[in-house]
A and B are shown apart, each in its own frame.
Chain A
Amino acid sequence: MPGFSSNNLSMLVIASGMISSNYHLAVTAVAIEISHSFFEFLSPMIFGIGSEATALAVDPAYAGITEESLKRGMNIVASGGLVGILISLPLLFFAEKIYPLVYSSLKPLAGWILLFLCVYMVWIERSWGKKFFAVIIFCLSGLLGLLVKDSGLVSPEYLLLPVFIGLYGFSSLLSGRRERKELIQDITFFEKARAAVIAFISSTFASLIPGMKRGQTSALALQAGGVFKREEVLFILPAISLAFVTLSIFVLGSTGRVRSSLTYDIKEVMGEIYFSQTVLFAGTVAIAACISACMLILLAKPIGRVMSRINGKYLKIAGFCVCSSLIMFFTGIYGVLLAFAATCIGMLSSRLGTRSTHLMGVLLLPTIVAVMV
């Protein structure tokens, strides 16, 4: 369901009174987050609306709901997610010694590295016209991010809801940018290996830079890594998302730094955590990932069958109505204003023909400013 985060589910679990100990609660939160990181890719595939981690999947994932395309898409997402876990788990053995050292030496350079990557993102656009349009889109979305960050207009918990629904959801629905008819193809071993290497480098790097989240990491990885084929994008995004979540747990265990909402929750629940406890979390990550990937693959066919029977137009209208209601309910009139501005910027990006990665300026520019100033 668009806009429904793993935090909401964790709150329901706590409220149900099923879990008594803090440690049990933290482990459950890890399992929920991992599972959610797999299943949240359903929303861009079905409704064409994504969250921070899945926004960049909206364009490649939404192919009109057919049983076969949904099945293939979900298979790619499941294998990408599993690869993300596989590439990040071995770092557990080095995290305790290396992370504190690298974290402190990388911190002063973080802003410059991010700035360089953003300039590079624009620079690799083919023509001067495209470069110019990319700068406009990056600056407009960055300005939106700077204006709303810490503004007090909307609760920080729901701040990204109207922003991402506007930038990647409503804008696509209104501009019809993603009317793809061709089926999602299978992905070759070489493409998987390339995507895995890019995911490993980017998520390891991002887990060490303050302020970097999955959204920024994905945008930089896709653009700097030259990943533009839709199947590769669908593979690399869950890989980065799952690797980032896993590595953020290792960073918490080795440096005590909070790098994601999950690790924030873990720290809130447990206070101080020891590296030995991180090992148990890593086990939880592995088990939850295996179960979630299997579930995703098993459910792909029945979900695809049901969804393919529903008229695509009705699904779009339903997605639009659900998201509008969520924005109004959680963020009020200011959220509607944010969604309006974000939708216009998203539509402008679509009309100028720039890549949707430049819209991630909404996260990247405030991060650079926060790190450098």
Chain B
Amino acid sequence: MGINLALDRSKQITLLILFLAIAGLAGIYFAVKNIKPVELEIGAIEESMEGRLVKISGRIEYIRKSKSGNMYWTVGDGNNITVPILDGKLKKIAAKRGDMVEIVGLVTQYNGEMEVMPKEILLG
């Protein structure tokens, strides 16, 4: 009887930990969904902001396509920044040079240059 009780208690603890793990993951999911991007001008983006979610707006100054099908937009509002379009869904956006765009993405750095890795792009 005592052994059975001990086993049950052990299973209860395991289930409780499983529940807490799932609750933790759900908490992270909601945190990720609700994180608000910092709206700022392109010139304000600097190295210390790497990894932060930002929102920028500007005009597409230039579009470069690589052999592998990736696109690299140069977006400017007086200052310029590169926006690599590597995601399949984002590549389908029919944007052209001169279009105004609003971009939500992560600040990254490549070869010493600051970039915004887009998660969402709004045209217009």
Residues of A within 8 A of B (CB): 140, 143-144, 147-148, 150-157, 159, 267-268, 271, 334, 337-338, 340-342, 344-345, 347-348, 351-352, 373
CB atoms of B35 and A344 under 8 A apart: no
Max count, chain A CB within 10 A of own CB: residue among B17, B111, B119:
B17
**Nearest CB in chain A: distance from B71 CB, A:** 17
Residues of A near B53 (CB, < 8 A) are: 152
**Nearest CB in chain A: distance from B104 CB, A:** 9
CA distance A268 to B21 in the complex (A): 38
B24 at the interface (CB under 8 A from A): yes
Q: Decide yes or no: A156 and B51 within 8 Å by CB, A147-B32, A351-B14 being known contacts.
A: yes
CB atoms of A153 and B35 under 8 A apart: yes
Residues of B within 8 A of A (CB): 10, 13-14, 17-18, 20-22, 24-25, 27-29, 31-32, 35, 37, 50-53, 88, 106, 108, 111-112, 117, 119
CB atoms of B28 and A267 under 8 A apart: no
CA distance A144 to B111 in the complex (A): 29
CA distance A347 to B15 in the complex (A): 11
Task: List 29 A-B residue pairs with CB atoms under 8 Å apart, sorted by A's residue number.
Answer: A144-B28, A147-B25, A147-B28, A148-B28, A151-B32, A151-B35, A152-B35, A152-B37, A153-B32, A153-B35, A154-B51, A155-B52, A267-B111, A268-B111, A271-B111, A334-B31, A337-B24, A337-B28, A340-B24, A341-B21, A341-B25, A341-B28, A344-B21, A348-B14, A348-B17, A351-B10, A351-B13, A351-B14, A352-B14
CB atoms of A344 and B14 under 8 A apart: no
Residues of A near B108 (CB, < 8 A) are: 156
Q: Is the interface of B mostly helix, strand, loop or mixed?
A: helix
CB atoms of B21 and A348 under 8 A apart: yes
Q: Decide yes or no: A143 and B112 within 8 Å by CB, A155-B50, A344-B20, A351-B17 being known contacts.
A: no
Residues of B near A143 (CB, < 8 A) are: 25
Residues of A near B112 (CB, < 8 A) are: 268
Q: Decide yes or no: A152 and B106 within 8 Å by CB, A147-B25, A337-B28 being known contacts.
A: yes
**Nearest CB in chain A: distance from B105 CB, A:** 9
